[in-house]
Amino acid sequence: MNNEFLSAVVLLTLVADPFGNMPLVNVMLGGVPEPRRRFVVVRECLIAYGLLIAFMFGGQTLLTLMHLSQTSLSIAGGVILFMIEIRMVFAKTSGTFGGQAAGEPFIVPLAIPLIAGPSALATVMLMATRDPDKVGMWAAAITVTMVLTTIVLLAGTKLHRWLGGHAMQAIERLMGLILTAIAVEMLLAGIRDFVKGLP
């Protein structure tokens, strides 16, 4: 398997954070019947998938319209990833992003920002703008990531019961630590590009 493809899948999975979001999803859908719960999870994951694909293909156009550079996007993405990583490492019972929605969620907060959050959108835009010739591979990586995310969230109740709350928190913290290194690397890459561009 292509190393870049595998790295993209790992990065996007860490950013989407299905294991970290699972407890919050379980709480939000706690009173929803099981068949309806599956429908809601699949629907929200499809919405998030469509948004990520749209940002990947339209990212360069958006950057041009807003007069933003790849360097600024890299630095901003690194900062956002780092902020989310802090919440993951020092997670609360309410989930990585905190807060809970009343009733059945629609688009917010499950699809946005829990799955397709600012860091995920920035990441796919950065992938597409840095290597536009590999956009097909990035799209495939997003697809695989969303399939994995959907499977994890669909199995949320069973996984949480099987692994236990402490194990789920440990997994989220481990993912947060890995994401720290990725965030720092994005920041350093942006800073290097900025320094090289100085007169």
Measured distance CA(25)–CA(37) in Å, rounded = 10
For the whole model, what pTM was predicted? 0.70
Measured distance CA(180)–CA(11) in Å, rounded = 11
Instruction: Pick from 15-19, 52-56, 59-63, 101-105 the range whose average pLDDT is largest.
Output: 52-56
The predicted pLDDT at position 156 comes to: 79
Residue 163 has pLDDT above 80, yes or no: no
- Averaged pLDDT, 82-109: 60
Residue 165 has pLDDT above 70, yes or no: no
- Averaged pLDDT, 3-7: 90
Q: Determine the residue type at 101.
A: A
Residue 99 has pLDDT above 50, yes or no: no
* Number of Cβ atoms within 10 Å of the Cβ of 123: 28
Residue 91 has pLDDT above 60, yes or no: no
* Number of Cβ atoms within 10 Å of the Cβ of 42: 13
Tokens of 78: 């690194």
Asked if 96 and 110 touch (Cβ cutoff 8 Å), the reply is no
Residue 168 has pLDDT above 70, yes or no: no
Tokens of 182: 């990725």
Q: What ranges do the domains of the chain cover?
A: 3-196
Residue 97 has pLDDT above 90, yes or no: no
